[in-house]
A = this chain, B = another copy of it.
Amino acid sequence: MPVLNMVEAIRATLAAEMTRDERIILLGQDIGRNGGMFRATEGLQQRFGEDRVVDMPLAEGVIVGSAVGLACSGLRPVPEIQFLGFASQAFHQLEGQVARMRFRSQGRFPIPVVIRAPFGGNVRTPEMHSDAHEAKYANSPGLKVVMPASARDAKGLLTEAIRGEDPVLFCEPLRGYRLIKDEVPEDDYATQFGRLRTVREGSDVTLVAWSAAVVVAEQAAELGAAEGISCQVVDLRTLVSLDAGGLGEAVARTGRAVVIHEAPLTAGFGAEVVATIVEEAFWSLTAPIARVAAPDTPYPISSLEALYVPSAERALRTIRRVMQAG
């Protein structure tokens, strides 16, 4: 099986799906000749032409908003927002339009639109480029929110997203584009939404994460192992659809849970994970569930980001605390 990094897996998947289905067109800033800021669309304009890989003007609202109309015309647009932070400019189109057109039209106009957007810290970008906004979109019914943490899943989940009938916000970890590398099957497969992935088995505590934070969780699990703490690591993969049952079962196995994410703590998606665990696995809990998140401050300037984004060391401190509790 070939080993690909995440951006390669995404590029290959886009190419494969575009070959399979003529209705797919890509829209975004600098995605054509320049191949995208991170080369996710490199070579695709040459291959599929300017009509299917479209350089868009600098206006996120209409990148997303025109995708709604393109979908109504029968196409399957896959817009890219250069950085998830700038999807805020399109927030009204995302939460109010992309997410609701099917409902509003009582099924007449499904919106099979996949919005790709990178995000995530520790890559020394300026303000707003790293912001983890997933919770806002998870609280926007009608949207699905997908956050792969491996190249294999990037392919499987993107395939599923593109072939599905529902709008998907597909968030890609900036730092993982090149750093995350794993074996990606060459055959055609789609990874069902709503099923978490057990990344590592463990018996003392369950670490719950998604996107690049899964890597942090794995590192923390390594550190924990060195101290004799056995950490299970689960990757949620899709926040909507949430695998509530799987989450409950995973935590029930260890009785303890730590959630790790890059977004600020308050009202981050970690809160939903805790609430879901409480609903699904309360009686098996032997310690309070803890969250490791960014503090409730805006994403800081580059020299301070290593302290801001949850690290394996910070996660380990919390894991220790949870192990001592109860």
- With a cutoff of 8 Å between Cβ atoms, the chain B residues found around residue A276 in the complex are 271
Report if A139-B263 is in contact (Cβ < 8 Å); known contacts: A96-B88, A103-B298, A298-B103: yes
Contact residues, A118-152 vs B (CB, 8 A): 127-128, 133, 135-136, 138-139, 141-142
Are B272 and A269 within 8 A (Cβ)?
no
Any B CB within 8 A of the CB of A78: no
A side interface size, CB within 8 A: 50
Closest to A259 in B: B275
In angstroms, Cα B267 to Cα A236, docked, is 14
Any B CB within 8 A of the CB of A237: no
Closest to A86 in B: B92
Any B CB within 8 A of the CB of A209: no
Are B266 and A139 within 8 A (Cβ)?
yes
Are B267 and A272 within 8 A (Cβ)?
yes
- With a cutoff of 8 Å between Cβ atoms, the chain B residues found around residue A264 in the complex are 139, 141
- With a cutoff of 8 Å between Cβ atoms, the chain B residues found around residue A133 in the complex are 139
Closest to A264 in B: B141
- Counted per complex, copies of this chain come to 2
- With a cutoff of 8 Å between Cβ atoms, the chain B residues found around residue A127 in the complex are 100, 104
Any B CB within 8 A of the CB of A182: no
Are A282 and B288 within 8 A (Cβ)?
yes
- With a cutoff of 8 Å between Cβ atoms, the chain B residues found around residue A289 in the complex are 275, 278
Any B CB within 8 A of the CB of A116: no
Any B CB within 8 A of the CB of A313: no
Any B CB within 8 A of the CB of A117: no
Are B139 and A103 within 8 A (Cβ)?
no
> Residue among A86, A99, A297, A298 with the most chain B CB within 10 A?
A298
Are A272 and B278 within 8 A (Cβ)?
no
A239 vs chain B, min Cβ distance (A): 8
A286 vs chain B, min Cβ distance (A): 10
Report A's interface with B, CB cutoff 8 A: 85-86, 88-89, 91-92, 95-96, 99-100, 103-104, 127-128, 133, 135-136, 138-139, 141-142, 239-240, 242, 263-264, 266-272, 274-276, 278-279, 282-283, 285, 287-291, 295-298
22 contacts between A and B (CB under 8 A): A85-B96, A88-B92, A91-B92, A103-B298, A133-B139, A135-B139, A136-B136, A141-B264, A141-B295, A141-B298, A142-B297, A266-B272, A267-B267, A267-B269, A267-B271, A271-B271, A271-B276, A274-B275, A274-B278, A279-B288, A282-B287, A282-B288
5 pairs of A and B residues whose beta carbons are closest in the complex: A91-B91, A282-B288, A274-B275, A271-B271, A139-B267
